[in-house]
Chain A
């Protein structure tokens, strides 16, 4: 890879990141100016809570997708974590034990994915579609069709509450801390460089002394762990542990990650863009809903946005290439 090529690639990536962040900022400004009560502090709180699970799960998902793999089992992991949380709570276990157990469970479920993908070398799409069904099924085995609701107010209030007298939701702390952790790992550590290297060319990465299997395994563990955490927070936010919690979330997460400029083929992407993607999708839906746009139209807008986001960088590249030749 020549220095020149790296430079143009870097520039293009930076461009898309800047573009998506700019689009997000514009959407936020336009929404605040035109949509009644979009820009209120209360709506900010609602928006953050709605974004919470997508934002969290999108962080490790970004790293997984940059390595050229995918994890479609995250929403089912979330559901199983929620179901186990309800089951243990009903079994009169202390919540302070249940929460770490659910996180550990998430990590183990991620490790199972990692084992199939890296040790057995199976395609991650197939593996995680399999565990997508398996984990959701297990969630129903654990909790059945019932719901557990009586979680302690101390915890549920914390998740839905704000910091002191400010309008900043408590859960934003978790999002920011994890975003910084994942951002630093991806963009400022050898691990992050290894993630990009594996995504660009696994063989080349191996020659450079990186062990792609081990790296991917731990990324799946991280993905499961964060999904487990998202399951706990989801349960506390809605005060409702159910086996069907978070169903369909994996598509929203993958959508946000791709919208954030991460290449589905791996090797390219940046975390700030992904966060912008999450905020863009969430605030657009929030603003449209406040404007009484119907759910069907909302889905159409989201779909179009996704296609445009995948199309735009490719179009830009082909235009650039044509100009060069």
Chain B
């Protein structure tokens, strides 16, 4: 049959195109990708003036997410203060690959700074390094990209600090013992996973021995999925005392479910949430306390860090200092990390002081 021959020939062509060379395995190439290109050559000049008219583009994980809106809102304010050009782009889905097209677009548009929250720490790497080769400074926030492909990372709080504070709140709400569950975002979200890891270490300590983590559920930062996952947790674990949701979408969805169910008052919800979204659940008693840094400050700090990089005040090396407007002076930590500060706890008494 000639059609079979043609298709077989096609298969051979396709095979021949890709299969060439001798065996390359994971262990052969281990370490190959970890070598960071020292693209930020040159020395930092702390006294260099902050450049005006810098084009600073924000690329969050996805658009139309209330938390992200507040973050980039802070960025917009800061870009205004340093007389730069602010731009916001991003995909509607939090997929890894869709950000790459946007990074490519920003390279083409010759931005000075890209402030990005990576959906996948590695998938965005080749594009980000292309951007850096083109002279663009890359600042990550929210969810870091690989160290090898960005200049600085704005850490909202240390991973350790957040993990500890989440376990502390859970323990207080559970009265020191009982079953707790975590409702996370996507299973490969860098930030979520590093917090959960710290939580697990904290829970393994003797003082938390009576707290039992029964399940980590994933709501994918999707309201409906998070709602269903919260429902599922409560049905599967009737003795559950606390749901800890370190994501604003998850904590709001879980609170909404609990506040309208028979679990209200019996199961506590805590985690990381936005005061405006959580206000009604704090007022109706569903939520006693939750925590968060001020997301607007993250976007704000990112703009100043990007501008400082672009102006040559810092290079992203440990120990360099720069001024970030109203937030004061910051010092670059190890691996280019810039820590915003400790998270704030919100309760019925202070929630009305915050509007974001």
Interface residues of A (CB under 8 A from B): 36-38, 40, 42-43, 46, 50, 89-90, 92-97, 99-100, 103, 107, 144-147, 149-156, 160, 173-174, 177-178, 181-182, 185, 189-191, 194, 214-215, 218, 221-222, 225-226, 229, 232, 234, 238-240, 242, 244-245, 247, 286, 289-290, 292, 295-296
Q: Which residues of B contact A221 (CB under 8 A)?
A: 7
Interface pair B25/A149, CB less than 8 Å apart: no
Is the C-beta of B67 less than 8 angstroms from some C-beta in chain A?
no
Shortest Cβ distance from residue B47 to the other chain A in the assembled complex, whole angstroms: 34
Q: Which residues of A contact B123 (CB under 8 A)?
A: 147, 149, 238-240, 242
Interface pair A96/B24, CB less than 8 Å apart: yes
Q: Which residues of B contact A156 (CB under 8 A)?
A: 126
Interface pair B2/A189, CB less than 8 Å apart: yes
Query: What is the interface of chain A mostly: helix, strand, loop, or mixed?
Result: helix
CB contact under 8 A between A43 and B10, given known A92-B27, A95-B25, A100-B15 = no
Shortest Cβ distance from residue B331 to the other chain A in the assembled complex, whole angstroms: 30
Interface pair A229/B18, CB less than 8 Å apart: yes
CB contact under 8 A between A238 and B97, given known A93-B25, A218-B4, A221-B7 = yes
- A-B contacts besides A218-B7, A225-B10, A290-B105, 17 pairs, CB < 8 Å: A36-B109, A38-B108, A40-B108, A42-B108, A46-B105, A94-B24, A96-B19, A100-B18, A107-B11, A147-B120, A149-B120, A181-B9, A190-B3, A194-B3, A222-B10, A295-B91, A295-B92
Q: List 20 A-B contacts (CB under 8 A).
A: A37-B108, A46-B104, A94-B22, A95-B25, A100-B19, A103-B18, A144-B187, A150-B33, A152-B28, A178-B10, A178-B13, A189-B2, A189-B6, A190-B2, A225-B14, A238-B96, A239-B123, A242-B188, A245-B96, A295-B90
Q: How far apart are the CA atoms of A92 and B97 in the complex, in Å? A: 25
- Chain A residue nearest to B17 (CB atoms) is A174
Shortest Cβ distance from residue A85 to the other chain B in the assembled complex, whole angstroms: 11
Q: How far apart are the CA atoms of A295 and B187 in the complex, in Å? A: 25
Interface size class of B (residues with CB under 8 A): 35 or more
- B:58-89 near A, CB below 8 Å: 63, 87, 89
CB contact under 8 A between A292 and B17, given known A40-B108, A189-B6, A222-B7 = no
Interface pair A147/B11, CB less than 8 Å apart: no
5 A-B pairs with the lowest CB-CB distances in the bound complex, closest first:
A145-B187, A94-B23, A149-B122, A191-B3, A240-B123
Interface pair A43/B108, CB less than 8 Å apart: yes
Interface pair A177/B105, CB less than 8 Å apart: no
Interface pair A239/B3, CB less than 8 Å apart: no
Q: How far apart are the CA atoms of A152 and B26 in the complex, in Å? A: 8
CB contact under 8 A between A147 and B188, given known A100-B15, A103-B11 = yes
Q: Which residues of A contact B11 (CB under 8 A)?
A: 103, 107, 225
Q: Which residues of A contact B100 (CB under 8 A)?
A: 238
- Chain B residue nearest to A211 (CB atoms) is B1
Interface pair B15/A96, CB less than 8 Å apart: no
A-B contact count (CB 8 A): 166
Q: How far apart are the CA atoms of A174 and B20 in the complex, in Å? A: 14
Interface pair B126/A242, CB less than 8 Å apart: no
Shortest Cβ distance from residue A221 to the other chain B in the assembled complex, whole angstroms: 7
CB contact under 8 A between A154 and B15, given known A46-B101, A194-B3 = no
Is the C-beta of B39 less than 8 angstroms from some C-beta in chain A?
no
Q: Which residues of A contact B29 (CB under 8 A)?
A: 150-153
Shortest Cβ distance from residue B352 to the other chain A in the assembled complex, whole angstroms: 34
Checking A145, A173, A289 against B101 with a beta-carbon cut-off of 8 angstroms, the contacting residue is: A289
Checking A92, A150, A218 against B3 with a beta-carbon cut-off of 8 angstroms, the contacting residue is: A218
Q: How far apart are the CA atoms of A147 and B143 in the complex, in Å? A: 15
Q: How far apart are the CA atoms of A242 and B113 in the complex, in Å? A: 29
Interface pair A191/B6, CB less than 8 Å apart: yes
Q: Residue among B6, B22, B87 with the most chain A CB within 10 A?
A: B6
Interface pair A191/B10, CB less than 8 Å apart: no
Q: How far apart are the CA atoms of A97 and B32 in the complex, in Å? A: 20
Interface pair B108/A290, CB less than 8 Å apart: yes
Is the C-beta of B218 less than 8 angstroms from some C-beta in chain A?
yes
Q: Residue among B15, B26, B121 with the most chain A CB within 10 A?
A: B26
Interface pair A146/B108, CB less than 8 Å apart: no
Interface pair B96/A147, CB less than 8 Å apart: yes
Encode B101-139 as 1/0 by CB contact (under 8 A) with A: 110110111100000000011110110000000000000
Encode B310-349 as 1/0 by CB contact (under 8 A) with A: 0000000000000000000000000000000000000000
Shortest Cβ distance from residue A48 to the other chain B in the assembled complex, whole angstroms: 11
Q: Which residues of B contact A40 (CB under 8 A)?
A: 108
Q: Which residues of A contact B125 (CB under 8 A)?
A: 239
Interface pair B33/A153, CB less than 8 Å apart: yes
Is the C-beta of B49 less than 8 angstroms from some C-beta in chain A?
no
CB contact under 8 A between A240 and B101, given known A43-B108, A221-B7, A222-B7 = no
Q: How far apart are the CA atoms of A234 and B120 in the complex, in Å? A: 14
Q: How far apart are the CA atoms of A23 and B15 in the complex, in Å? A: 35
Q: How far apart are the CA atoms of A225 and B11 in the complex, in Å? A: 7
Shortest Cβ distance from residue B18 to the other chain A in the assembled complex, whole angstroms: 5
Interface pair B26/A92, CB less than 8 Å apart: yes
Shortest Cβ distance from residue B19 to the other chain A in the assembled complex, whole angstroms: 5
Interface pair A242/B96, CB less than 8 Å apart: yes
Q: Which residues of B contact A155 (CB under 8 A)?
A: 24
Q: Which residues of B contact A194 (CB under 8 A)?
A: 3
Shortest Cβ distance from residue A82 to the other chain B in the assembled complex, whole angstroms: 11
CB contact under 8 A between A289 and B102, given known A145-B186, A152-B24 = yes
Is the C-beta of B260 less than 8 angstroms from some C-beta in chain A?
no
Q: Which residues of B contact A154 (CB under 8 A)?
A: 21, 24
